[in-house]
Amino acid sequence: MDTLVRYFPTVDYPTCWQAMRDFTDRRDDNRTDELWVLEHPPVFTLGQAGKPEHVLNAGNIPVVQSDRGGQVTYHGPGQTVIYLMLDIRRLGLGSRGLVNAIEAGIIDFLASQGIQARNRDDAPGVYVDGAKIASLGLRIRRGASYHGLAINRDMDLAPWQRINPCGHVGQPMTTLQAQGVHLSRDDMEHQLVALLAKRLGLTPRTAPPPGWYNGDTDTSLPATVTDTP
């Protein structure tokens, strides 16, 4: 299934969140799926059922109440976020199948870097020796997904100490850098996208950032598409 992959530098969380909702509201059965690969400035986000008490000390980092699943998480520089706007009915996936495929793609990527990782039945995400390296939070509406995953590259882990990550008190966190992986951001993102796409049955093709990113309110214009390297 052809899927457009759009790479961004840094995108404010509220702007990106609204764009995901708009994309989902406007899509029809013929709309091409998309992956958005990016970073956010520092922000804590609470899921739909997120409990404010899991934010221990936000300090100067904003807290946003989101509509994804899960509890509280942190986004910031040095972390890659991949949002998955997928028609899961068209892909033949249920919500559990989608989560399993995403986790498996992340584990495949880590294995390619010599890191043994696993998922957990009681807490979505991917873990290395008990420390969380990747988080998941999704929303499914009208048979389509949005939100997605975040994987820690070389980020400052201090802000995680201001929350109970994903609602788990004392959950240790780790990064690719701490595990001895020193890929460039570009190389890491392209390799991860390729393995995620394989698990999800997608054919990734790169496309430029959409109109909303450049201040254009018309999101209906077709994108120029090229093969992903």
69 is in an annotated binding site: yes
Distance from CA of residue 135 to its chain's centroid? 8
Percent helix, strand and coil across the chain, each to the nearest 5: 30, 30, 40
CB 138 within 8 A of CB 145: yes
111 is in an annotated binding site: no
Structure tokens at 220: 């209906």
Structure tokens at 198: 């394989």
| Helical (H) or strand (E) element with 21 | helix 13-26
150 is in an annotated binding site: yes
68 is in an annotated binding site: yes
141 is in an annotated binding site: no
Active site residue 166: yes
Catalytic residue among 46, 163, 166, 207: 166
Helix axes 95-112, 185-200, angle to 10 degrees: 140
78 is in an annotated binding site: no
74 is in an annotated binding site: yes
Q: Which residues are annotated as a binding site?
A: 68-75, 135-137, 148-150
Q: Which residues are annotated as a binding site for substrate?
A: 68-75, 135-137, 148-150
List the catalytic residues: 166
